[in-house]
Amino acid sequence: MREPTAEDFEKLFPAECHFKVIAVDLVGVHRNLNQCLVDLGIADHAFQPANKSEHGKYISYETSIVVETHDRMKEIDAALRAVEGVKLVL
């Protein structure tokens, strides 16, 4: 089986991408995630809180965004990972 090429990935776009972020439940993390989207020019979407961990240390947020290219998806992913408190982006 061959490795997918950049061209293979681009054939999948545009696509609706579902982003789930797991973060430490810090004051302002929700606001910072939404500000990250605004900074990326995605002001018409927002993260919604999803689940809290059993002991309340972590919280997850979800959103869905139509993404035009694979490179744009990687850009969004990298920006979300850079938000303070974020532990995982799915």
Q: Give the model confidence (pLDDT) of 23-75 as tens digits.
A: 999 999 999 999 999 999 998 899 999 999 999 999 999 999 999 999 999 99
In the predicted model, is pLDDT for residue 8 greater than 90? Answer: no
Q: Which domain holds residue 34?
A: 6-89
pLDDT digits (tens, 9 = 90+) for 28-40: 999 999 999 999 9
Q: Are 70 and 9 in contact (CB under 8 A)?
A: yes
Q: Is residue 59 part of a domain?
A: yes
Position 72, amino acid: R
Report the domain count for the chain.
1
The CATH number linked to 36 is: 3.30.70.260
Q: What is the pLDDT of residue 11?
A: 83
DSSP the chain: -PPPPHHHHHTT-SEEEEEEEEEE--TTHHHHHHHHHHHTT-TT---EEEEE-TTSSEEEEEEEEEES-HHHHHHHHHHHHTSTTEEEE-
Whether residue 10 is contained in a domain is answered as yes
Length of the chain: 90
In a domain, 1, yes or no: no
